[in-house]
Amino acid sequence: MLQICFGILLLSAATLLFEITLTRVFSVAEWYHFAFMVVSLALLGFGASGSLLSLFPRLLGVKLKNSLAVCAGLFSVGSLGGYLVVNSIPFDSYRLAWESRQLLYLAVYYLSLAVPFFFTGLALGVALSQLPSQAGKLYGFSMVGSGLGCLLVLITPSFFGINGTVVLAAWLGLVAALVLSLPGFRLLIGWATAGIVGLIILLINSSAGLEIRMSPYKSLSQLLFQPQTRILWTGWNAFSRVDVVKSDSIHIAPGLSLNYRQALPPQLGITVDGADLSPLSQVETEQADFTNYLPGALAYQLLPNAKVLVIEPQGGLDVLTALHHRSSSVVAVLSNPLVVKAVEKFGEKGRWIDDPRVKVVVEGARSYLRHSEEEFDIIQLSLTDSFRVLGAGAYSLSENYRYTLEAFKEYYEHLASGGILSVTRWLQVPPSEEIRLMALVITTLEELGVTHPEQHVAAIRSFQTLTVLVKENPFRQQDVAIIRDFADKLGFDVVYFPGINIADLNRYNVLPREVYYEALVNLLTPSTRGTFLDNYPFDISPPTDNRPFFFHFFKWQQVPYIWSALGKTWQPFGGFGYLLIVALLLTAVLASVVFILLPLYFRPREKGKTGQTLMSGAHWQVFGYFAGLGLGFMFVEIPLMQKFILFLDQPVYAFAAVLGAIFVFSGLGSLLSTKIGKVLPQVVVSLSLLAFLYPVILSYLFEAWLGQSLLVRLVIALVALAPLSFLMGVPFPCGIRMISLLSPDLIPWAWGINGCVSVVSSILSLMIALAVGFSWVLVAAGGAYFFAAGIALYWLKEMRRISPGRGIPAG
């Protein structure tokens, strides 16, 4: 039994390592939102495995260790093979709207990636079906193994890169196959041993032949189309790939005045995951005159010799601007140590990072501000993401905790007396992100108790950017004079300052209507704000930490516009945007219905009985219980992963910590389920109540501990997740043991239900979070578990009726 459990542990570790690595693969190859889409539907492989076992119960008659060994070996082949297949397919999400073969490529993506998950699901389904009395141990070791996979994904990319981590996942699958083959399965022992040796060689040379195929629309790909471009350096860590690029076509200065007539200084480029090209200017700070012509220079005209905080400057354009304008000190907060390393290695001239006035902090901005007691004259929120069309919500799934109501309150509270917060965003057509920025700023001021927000705000626009200034105290007449003079000299348009006249508007970059002034005035006026927000074609309400989707603008009334513009905008999926998530949900629901009902339709009919229904009472109970568990589990897992991004700075840290804690502690709960299963309904009700309470618990936790070191926050996260995770591990093995007595033939079907509903709920949870926030997803999780508790109570009563004095069987 120990051999089987250890083999399942290794296979589960390999599967989670592969799953999380896939999110990184597609973040680099395509975009962050695409990673979610592919992995979510690929997980349908788990549900399909349960359906196969229900349709072909004879598969359960094969010797268990041999079955598990074969499944582990096929997982290894499928994971590496799936990666190679999707890495070689010329899928182009931008051409999907008008090129039908892209649909075929997308289907191949999903099917290729479903294969390894299918074989892992098949292994676990076979084990649970043949050894239902050992469900606690099997499920527990599987969960602990999954937690181990989450830990590995934090370590291995720094040594092997992401492509090498895929190879490592396949290697672990073969090790699991070898463990399960011993001592008698000689054929598989030989193949597994040879494969392990081969994959070690491939792991050492993983950069050759396994390089990730990157979307041609990413900044790095675009640069590499230029013949003179070359990559000077590439670095990997657990959460990013950073490249330094040399190219004559790099000329970056967002919002640069058209009155600047000279060439920009030479620049190298820094990309993160192949995107968001940021300049590393090769010029001494004293000679960086071009920074005088940037919109961000306005804050330094208002406050010379300032003490400055620059948030996420990447290559350092905003730091260079601050230094050129004689700032007394600059704190540069960067969350990615690889970006700092790149600047240190390649800042040949104007090494701002070595300037004695500069202090570099490698930390998330929110955690830094929470523990810092410093106040700043200027806080600059850098514009380092590339321009991209956002209207249809193609980037909806990107959380951004730097642009939330709580974040802006922290920025404002760290301003010195008379200090200025300066934020620049791209101008969109139709306007979206820049209007949301205005709403965010005004709501921040009101919630902080500023009585006249209109006195604290100013805004200017270039031909491509909007810059909003927020002052700690009201703008004075001399400030207004400086703003007007700065805009006139550089050909920028004034959007707003206290006491502005219509004659001041729309003078240089002329628009048919000064929509930005109109929007800001409507937002500043309490009597018109609600109507303006309701009637605006996009959702521009201020994001919060509970709903941190700054780039999610979708409203259902947009649908006619999206259909009319489908394929006419240069966006992933032809501009289909958020509706693609809806389509994915419908696809997952349809596939799940097929996988769940198909085994029932083809199940053997009992002799002598006619008119059997597709779903009997027992089937409905099994479906309700395991669907509730699948729904509840994912409705806890998904929002917690997203919420902990704020607490742990990086998505991969949040994913690994949350998944690792959930899997390890739920594994412990599963192992102990035989001892506490007698009170299963009470356990599930407690789980439900905890899910209801966790939004409140986490808000207090983040408030108290966000300013601590990353290591301390990791420990706090694991401790906070332990009680909920432990209870989450109990209901599933207890349910398997109960139906092993009541309807043992339904065990594979129950496994399939859990897998299918988990996929549906992973998509549904994101839709709920986008609409109303993470807290409501956790509330829905509590409801799902409460529903499952009712079914568990009924089953316990049935078992006691059939066999008085007997509870859930021990394993």
Q: Of 3.30.70.980, 2.30.30.140, 1.20.1250.20, 3.40.640.10, which CATH number belongs to 1-214?
A: 1.20.1250.20
- Tally of residues, the chain: 811
Encode 48-96 in three state secondary structure. HHHHHHHHCHHHHHCCHHHHHHHHHHHHHHHHHHHHHHHHHCCCCHHHC
The 3-state DSSP composition of the chain as helix, strand, coil percent (nearest 5) reads: 65, 10, 25
What residue spans in the chain does CATH classification 3.40.50.150 cover?
Answer: 282-550
Q: Does residue 355 register a pLDDT over 60? A: yes
Structure tokens at 538: 């996009």
Q: How much of the chain, in percent, has pLDDT values that exceed 90?
A: 55
Residue 414: CB partners within 8 Å, gap ≥ 6? 309, 369, 372, 374, 375, 376, 379
- The residues facing 82 across adjacent strands are none
Q: Does residue 563 register a pLDDT over 50? A: yes
What is the DSSP track for 231-273?
EEEEEEETTEEEEEEE-TT----TT--TT--SPPPPEEEEEET
Q: Give residue-wise pLDDT tens across range 750-806.
A: 888 888 898 899 889 989 999 999 999 999 999 999 999 999 888 888 777 766 655
Q: Of 3.40.50, 3.30.70, 1.10.3470, 1.20.1250, which CATH number belongs to 621-811?
A: 1.20.1250
- From residue 472, alpha-carbon distances to 52, 412, 505 in Å are 64, 7, 25
Q: Does residue 631 register a pLDDT over 90? A: yes
Closest CA to 589 of 631, 619, 554, 556: 631
E strand or H helix that includes residue 108: helix 101-130
Instruction: Supply the mean pLDDT for the chain.
Output: 87
First to last CA, the chain: 12
Q: Does residue 647 register a pLDDT over 80? A: yes
Q: Give residue-wise pLDDT tens across range 685-715.
A: 999 999 999 999 999 999 999 999 999 999 9
Side-chain-side CA neighbours of 77 within 13 Å: the count stands at: 11
Q: Give residue-wise pLDDT tens across range 222-246.
A: 999 998 899 999 999 988 999 999 9
pLDDT of residue 569: 60
pLDDT band at 33; cut points 50, 70, 90: low
Report the pLDDT averaged over residues 570-586: 67
**CA gap 196, 201 in Å, rounded:** 9
Q: Are 433 and 478 in contact (CB under 8 A)?
A: no
**CA gap 13, 407 in Å, rounded:** 36
pLDDT band at 41; cut points 50, 70, 90: low
Q: Give residue-wise pLDDT tens across range 591-614.
A: 888 877 777 666 655 444 444 455
pLDDT of residue 607: 47
Structure tokens at 589: 């629901």
Q: What's the pTM value of the predicted model, to 2 decimals?
A: 0.91
**CA gap 775, 753 in Å, rounded:** 26
Q: Give residue-wise pLDDT tens across range 715-729.
A: 999 999 999 999 999
Q: Give residue-wise pLDDT tens across range 257-311.
A: 999 999 999 999 999 999 999 999 999 988 999 999 999 999 999 999 999 999 9
Mean pLDDT check: name the lowest of 153-167, 385-399, 691-705. 385-399
pLDDT of residue 609: 47
Domain 282-550 has CATH 3.40.50.150: yes
**CA gap 241, 652 in Å, rounded:** 13
What residue spans in the chain does CATH classification 1.20.1250.20 cover?
Answer: 1-214
